[in-house]
Amino acid sequence: MAFKTPGYLQRLMAVAFLLLEIGPASAQGMSKEDIADTRASIIVMNAIIDADPNDACLYFERGLYHKKLGNYQAASRDFKAVDLLGYPYYKLELYSVKGFCDSMNHDWYKAVEDYNFALRVYNRADYLYANRAEAFLRIKRYKLALLDCLQAIKLDSHPGAAFSTAGEAYYRTGQYKYAVDYLNKAIQRNAGDARAFYFRGLALRKLGQKFPGDLDIGRARALGMKSSP
């Protein structure tokens, strides 16, 4: 979306670049230049929103900048404002990104609600089912998580996230053989999935296979797994 930026905003952006360019890189995977650009864009958007506080599109754009920097609480506030103001475009994208940010804030109930709205717009997106499954898992709605995982896998059998979530859900419901089966598939698709190794290790222990279970838990620790989510 293009904006006609008044002169004072152009000067503000120039100052922002000077102030922020030397700041430390804090957003994972972004260069200092990208971080500076994004922070400067947020400063500009703040001023534009102050001048026009009822334009949902402005909040959506600023929310995307906050998300890019990993400022998920600020992003969630902006996306909530978008929803309240009645965003007229891209409802699927709005609820998808809102659900992601709410999940990153561990606000799992809101995330479920967001993904519900997104799936009403388009119910053929495997990632929406996989993401909602993760949220269901965190609020201990394991059967619903499994249903979403199976739907995600039906729509796209390649990504490992749905297999990993399904494996954990099967473990949490005491179905250890199913857990191992799905976690095997998760690891086949992503050999760096620490959670899949961890819960496969726990499931193998429950099945009386202590040594391979301990090996899996050791692999999970080596991949950065510190404790059960």
> Which fold does the domain 1-89 belong to in CATH?
1.25.40
Q: What DSSP assignment string belongs to the chain?
A: ------HHHHHHHHHHHHHHTTSPP-STT--HHHHHHHHHHHHHHHHHHHH-TT-HHHHHHHHHHHHHHT-HHHHHHHHHHHHHHT--S-HHHHHHHHHHHHHHTT-HHHHHHHHHHHHHH-S--HHHHHHHHHHHHHTT-HHHHHHHHHHHHHH-S--SHHHHHHHHHHHHTT-HHHHHHHHHHHHHH-TT-HHHHHHHHHHHHHTT-HHHHHHHHHHHHHTT--S--
pLDDT, one tens digit per residue, over 78-97 is 999 999 998 888 899 999 99
Q: For the chain, how long is the longest CA-to-CA vector?
A: 71
pLDDT, one tens digit per residue, over 212-221 is 999 999 999 9
pLDDT, one tens digit per residue, over 16-66 is 443 333 344 446 678 999 999 999 999 999 999 999 999 999 999 999 999
The two three-digit tokens of residue 7, written as one number: 């002169």
pLDDT, position 17: 42
pLDDT, one tens digit per residue, over 165-215 is 999 999 999 999 999 999 999 999 999 999 999 999 999 999 999 999 999
Q: Are 132 and 148 in contact (CB under 8 A)?
A: yes
pLDDT, position 27: 65
Q: Are 161 and 174 in contact (CB under 8 A)?
A: no
